[in-house]
Amino acid sequence: MTGDSNQQLQHRTVLLKEAVDALVWRADGLYVDGTFGRGGHSRAVLGKLGAGGRLLGFDKDPQAIATAREIGDARFEIVHDSFATLADALSERGIERVSGILLDLGVSSPQVDDPARGFSFRHDGPLDMRMDPTRGESAAQWLARATQQELTEVIRDYGEERFAFQIAKAIVARRSESDRLGPLASTRELAEIVAHVVKTREKGKDPATRTFQALRIHVNQELAELQVTLEAALALLEQGGRLVVISFHSLEDRIVKRFMQSQANVPPLDRRLPLRAAELPVPPMKLLGRVMASDEEVAANPRARSAVMRIAERVAA
């Protein structure tokens, strides 16, 4: 790979120090990096762990797995799978409790910047969008079979796109031309179809942004996997253990916020019940705060602008 390509595909880890400081509260603990990516957070966690500490990383991307295998540290192990398999992976290793779980959600810069992955409307490439291109159905395959109603619902619900119906209709119309034009298989053509339909958009935002986000979330089942993992984290964290989640759009952050808030509160009690203080229920989690990227970090890495990090602590395991 050329120097220019390396520069293009490099990844800046968002909220690196803030996330690791929030996560690692004991140097001999066992931690999970649910989204290894290019290893920024994992390397920093290993730097804070003592000889007795351990780190288990997860990622679906084969390129991330290749990077992880370059880490020559006996305290570290990488799992080529979704973080949604966390509970099973720990059970297979005889692990019942962990000291902290970090989730850095969304797509990484190398994935977006590599045209072959099909995540970006800015570069022409195959309509793939899978985090793991060796498994499952690509965006092109799903677009070729989805009904107009399914297209509308995915683009509306996962992209928060008000022109979802019109975009879905245009995709179905293009599909009817497949015998003459071939299948809809390139990111550029999809972006052009969306741009033809979406005449107005926020300043500085490409008309295809929301549609591409929606398809990526659907193809990778990102929101469903996030919900499964949050529930697993609650069961796996030891007392005092930390859950740290970095989100990059409102749908993810809403799920994380609601989950943490629901676990940090207990249902209201009937005040007529004769309960002593020691008998009062304790919520399973405590909220430790929300962190946004600093102005300096956003200036150095514009993709950090939308990042929201939420932190919670396991109170009673």
Spatial CA neighbour of 143 closest among 223, 221, 206, 216 = 216
Bridge partners, residue 30, by sequence = 54
Angstrom distance (rounded) from CA 243 to CA 233: 7
> Helices 40-48 and 16-23: crossing angle, nearest 10°?
40
Exposed, middle or buried: residue 131 (CB in 10 Å: 0-12, 13-18, 19+)? buried
40 is in an annotated binding site: yes
Provide the Cα torsion 117, 220, 13, 42; round to 10°.
Answer: -110
111 is in an annotated binding site: yes
Q: Which residues are CB-contacts of 296 (< 8 A; sequence separation ≥ 6)?
A: none
Angstrom distance (rounded) from CA 62 to CA 128: 14
Angstrom distance (rounded) from CA 180 to CA 275: 75
41 is in an annotated binding site: yes
Q: What are phi and psi of 170, to 5 degrees?
A: -65, -35
Q: Radius of gyration of the chain from Cα atoms?
A: 21
Token representation of residue 34: 């649910």
39 is in an annotated binding site: yes
104 is in an annotated binding site: yes
CA distances in angstroms from 77 to 42, 140, 176, 261, 269, listed in the order given: 10, 33, 48, 31, 45
Please report, in range form, the residues annotated as the binding site.
39-41, 59, 83, 104, 111
Please report, in range form, the residues annotated as the binding site for S-adenosyl-L-methionine.
39-41, 59, 83, 104, 111
